[in-house]
Structure 1
Amino acid sequence: MKIRAKIVLLVLPLLIAPLAISGLVSSYSARNGITQVAVQFLRFKAEEIRKYAAQQWAILQENNLSGDDYFVDVARKAVEGYASGTVRGPTELVVGFEPSGVIGMGSSKLEPVPSETEAIVAMIGAGREGWVRVRLGGFDRVAEAMFLPDFGWYVLVSEREDRFYQAVDEILKRNTLIIVVSAFMAALLLGWFSSYMTNPIRNLERTMARVMETNNLGLRAEIKYSDEIGHLAASFNGMASALSEAYGQIKSYALKAALSQRQERKVRNIFQKYVPVSVIEQFFSRPEAQLSGDERILTVLFSDIVGFTGISEQLTPTEVVDSLNHYFERMVEIITGSKGIVDKYIGDAIMAFFGAPVSSGHDALDGVTAALEMLESLDEFNRWQASKGRLPFHSGIGLNHGKVTIGNIGSDKKMDYTVIGDMVNIASRIEGLTRRYDEPLLVSFPVYLEVRSRFPCQYIDKVAVKGRRSAVSIFGVRREIDAVRGKALKIYHAGIRRYYDRRFEEAGRDFGTALSMQPDDKAMATFARRCSAFIKDPPPSGWTGVVVMCEK
């Protein structure tokens, strides 16, 4: 930037600043006043809705109807109608969200995009109430947020932000126009004045340009004056001499740096075959933290080849290694493609995790997607096996989601970037249950909560795995199902709820209906047999329905 421009940029703000400050103060004063009005306006409506909802719930409780879904739904619609009645303009909106982000009620139709739904779910999880700014239906809104716990709603009483601040925008436009015109006039005057002052410097500038064009540090500027410009030329000459001396040192340092980078690339290329690239990057950026650990919430996947011992007995050692290498190559590519990291190989088993070193924000979904792709890729792999005259592979996969300890664990001579903890052990036990329940993919309840909106899931059982007293609910997952199976699962899950409520006759009828639609479903058949047994011989009073596993 030329000195002339610098003078303009230095002086111009001194002229424009008072105008700008005045405009900003008036704009923000107006905005604050409007905001206070908006807060009181929306807060009043929110309080009225809260009072009405409380009255409706009190009526339900007084009549012992708070547990009746029909009357609760009537009360919900009454609250929704009351909330709609508080709306006084086309841009106002009252909307209530379920904890999952699904809209439970609204004064008008609203179809939020996924990013807006995720923001709402985050606000619900953080328990935010009061004055908030939110984006809904493609518009920025100001809102009064509150929870209606009786109805399970997170309610936003909102108005479009541009409606509230329209007057402020007009004030801001006028102030901006005044500032722009003033700045233009001041810039013209300052440009003329600075051009007069900077002419002597241009001669020195041309000398510097010749040095840069020719890369000849031996050129020197002519010193004509003993004023500040002359001192500047002398300083330039001294700098050129110093740069000439330093140039030799710079070349030496550049050579050393290039050799160091080349060596680092060799190390990366060697170790990325054994350690994830992200972990290598983490090591080079913070080598002092290589032995540290961290608690994280992530998803762990275990995969095992069913009956591999019997298969390997029919193959030569070379064939076993060849088959495993082809199998692992396909599976690892799928895992890494879904943002996962392969922790280790345990014989023919694979242990992987999703969410570290960097979380994608939907690690459980990444893990289940990878598991489904792994199962689907077995068809192509088994065709390759058949072409070699070898038996097919069948996998069992288990996933769990929760808190683990993760880091480079070991010593300075040998370490692994791995995860440990009770959650990891449960994931391994769930994978072992795939054989018992004849389900290729089983996931825990935390994983089910993360993926149920994306993939059809089937409740399988509630078990106490070996080594744990507390029960774990397990679910099967499919990529997609047809309409008949979808209807059967709906009936089946209704039966599951009645089963754990000890309503065995009703549950048995549900399981029988579902089983007639899906006769090969083993989970449906299992619960149907249990109901038949419990109808004849009911379980004790302390029965919880938990199946205790004595094997891994």
Structure 2
Amino acid sequence: MQSSPRAATDLDAKEDGAWPARRRAILDWLVNETRTERFIDNILVELCKRLSAEGVPVARATLHFRIQHPQWMGARILWKTGMDEAEIDTIEYGVEVTPQFQHSPANEVFNGASEVRQNLEASDAASSRYTLFDELRAEGLTDYVAWPIDHTLGKRHLVTFSTDRVGGFEDWHIACLRDLLPALALVSEIRIKNAMARTLLRTYVGPHASEQILAGATTRGSGTTVSAAIMICDLRDFTALSDLWPRDDVIRLLNAYFDALCEPVEAHGGETLKFMGDGLLAIFPLSNPTACADLLQAIREGQAAMAALNEENQDKGLPELRYGIGVNIGDVMYGNIGSRRRLDFTAIGPVVNVASRLETLTKEIKRPVLLSRAFVDKAGSHAECDQLGSFAIRGLEEPIEVFALRD
């Protein structure tokens, strides 16, 4: 919606004077001088400050992006006068069907509008057609404009500007802001795609592995040796479970199981490095002096979460989920393995193999968490466990001492 034309403008005076050079300076900064800035929120803050310094009275600005994230559909970046840092709010999936979003200027833009403009000083019904406009008017803002930010492959995002200037934006203010849109689209797309690449890597390989990959560990065999505590967990009787229950129930059960065990791992500084069907591999680097204690605490919290999940499942008539965990410690190879075209970033080596054998041994011993002697010695008093004796482990010539974590 276009507001009524302003009674008077000084567009010609600005264009004939110093303004074109100033506008060019802002564009040059946006395109050429933001190369070292990784984050679009910082660029938005600096852009608004530069606009205000040049006489474009921006008092509030937002960027709305649709992002690829397992938890959030999008994000909103908000700047207001006086803020040195922007606020970033994540938007959950499903918001697009809510009345709040359906009755918003953002919905207009995402449905194809090329501009939404509103004079907030007016008191007619049109100026209150969206709740957002009433909120902005209550904040003392006088004018609002929203435009699409179009990225490649039809990806449409949104930018808005508001002012508290009496009389709202003048025509030359709007012309200046509109001129910035192509450059803002290019600059924001680069940052959003970088953020998406980082998010996707974190989603699929974990935070530490993603940083290694982004730093250049992308060739087969690249990696490093890491001293770490290793935890391997596997779900019991999953094959029978998947045969007996509908697919959607099995997926929900599996996701809930992974949530119960992985969230404590991440909360205590570990990383879930790999999912293997119904199993997982987690790593706690010993560069953190509390790694062993953190791993044990993560297991205890995971056990409590699994107990709660099983109670919930029982109330729903769903099966109890049982699991086994093997824990070991030592040096592992942490890096890329695989075929020439398909790589996997993982941890391998004898230490991982022993952890896997201990997890398998839980089926025979009927204790859910088994620890190696090497881990117990390193963990010290944190390892409240029972010594079970020595057991032959496939692949090892000598039996190893095995301990069970006390319930």
TM-score range, shorter chain: 0.5 to 0.7
Choose from 323, 326, 346 the match for 2:256.
Answer: 326
The corresponding residue for 1:346 is 276
Which residues of 2 match residues 150-169 of structure 1 at below 5 A?
none
| C-alpha distance in 2 between matches for 1:465 and 1:288 | 34
For residue 381 of structure 2, give the secondary structure of its aligned residue in structure 1: coil
Quote the Cα distance in structure 1 between the aligned partners of 2:309 and 2:26: 60
Say which structure is richer in strand.
Answer: 2
Evaluate the alpha carbon distance shift between residue 262 and residue 364 of structure 1 in structure 2; reply closer, same or farther with a 3 A threshold: same
Q: Say if 1:341 and 1:331 are closer, same or farther in 2 by CA, change over 3 A.
A: same
Q: Distance in 1 between matches of 2:344 and 2:234?
A: 21
C-alpha distance in structure 2 between counterparts of 1:258 and 1:326, whole Å:
36
Alpha-carbon offset, residue 424 of structure 1:
0.7
Asked if 2 retains the 8 angstrom alpha-carbon contact of 1:407 and 1:418, the reply is yes
State the match for 1:400 in structure 2.
328
Within a 5 Å distance, the mapping from 1:303-314 to structure 2 comes to 303-314=233-244
Partner of 1:380: 308
Q: Distance in 1 between matches of 2:249 and 2:310?
A: 14
For 1:376 and 1:408, locate their aligned partners in 2 and report how far apart those are by CA, in whole Å.
34
Task: Read off the aligned partner of 1:376 and give its amino acid letter.
Answer: A
2:253 is the counterpart of 1:474: no
TM-score by length of 1: 0.40
How far residue 367 of structure 1 moved from its aligned partner, in angstroms, is: 1.9
Say whether 1:250 aligns with 2:29. Answer: yes
Partner of 2:295: 367
User: How far apart are the structure 2 equivalents of 1:438 and 1:380?
Assistant: 20
What do residues 458-502 of structure 1 show as CA deviations (whole Å, max 9, x unaligned)? 1111122012102211111226xxxxxxxxxxxxxxxxxxxxxxx
Give, in angstroms, the shift of residue 247 of structure 1: 6.3
Give the Cα–Cα distance (whole angstroms) in 2 for the partners of residues 371 and 266 of structure 1: 31
Report the secondary structure of 2:203's partner residue: coil
Contact 2:207 2:271 in 1 (8 A): no
Whether contact under 8 Å (2:324, 2:363) holds in the other structure is yes
TM-score, structure 2 normalization: 0.53
Distance 1:408 1:455 in 2: 32
Counterpart CA distance in 1 for 2:383 and 2:215 is 38
Q: Deviations over 1:71-120 (max 9, x none)?
A: xxxxxxxxxxxxxxxxxxxxxxxxxxxxxxxxxxxxxxxxxxxxxxxxxx
Partner of 1:416: 344
- Residue 456 of structure 1 pairs with residue 384 of structure 2: yes
CA distance in 2: counterparts of 1:289 and 1:348, whole angstroms: 28
CA RMSD of aligned residues (A): 2.8
1:293–1:409 contact (8 Å) kept in structure 2: no
Residue 288 of structure 1 and its aligned partner are, at CA, apart by 6.7
Query: CA offsets per residue over residues 209-241 of structure 1, 9 Å max, x none?
Result: xxxxxxxx98xxxxxxxxxxxxxxxxxxxxxx9
Alpha carbons of structure 1 residues 435 and 245: separation in structure 2 relative to 1, 3 Å: closer
8 Å Cα contact 1:400/1:444 also seen in 2: yes
Output one character per residue of 1:491-546: Cα deviation in whole Å (capped at 9) or x when no partner. xxxxxxxxxxxxxxxxxxxxxxxxxxxxxxxxxxxxxxxxxxxxxxxxxxxxxxxx
**Is 1:446 paired with 2:225?**
no
**Structure-2 separation of matches of 1:375 and 1:342:** 16
Q: Percent identity?
A: 26
1:382-424 CA distances to partner (integer Å, 9 max, x unpaired)?
A: 0121122112112211100011111133356422221010111
Alpha-carbon shift at residue 248 of structure 1 (Å): 5.4
Unaligned residue ranges in structure 1 (runs of 5+): 1-216, 219-240, 480-552
State whether residues 293 and 406 of structure 1, in contact with CA within 8 Å, keep that contact through their aligned partners in structure 2.
yes
Give the distance between the partners of 1:288 and 1:378, measured in 2 at CA.
36
What residue identity is the alignment partner of 1:433? L
Q: Give how far 1:425 is off.
A: 0.6
Gaps of 5+ in 2: 1-16, 35-182
Matches for 1:30-49 after TM superposition, within 5 Å: none
CA deviation after TM superposition for structure 1 residue 284, in Å: 3.0
Q: How many residues align?
A: 238
Structure 1 pair 290/250, CA: closer, same or farther in 2 (3 Å)?
A: farther
Aligned to 1:260: 190
Q: For 2:28, what is the secondary structure of its paired residue?
A: helix
The one-character-per-residue Cα deviations of 1:255-293 (angstroms, maximum 9, x if unpaired) are: 454432122122233333212123323333446778621
Is the CA contact 1:303–1:396 (under 8 Å) kept in the aligned structure 2? yes
Partner of 1:117: none
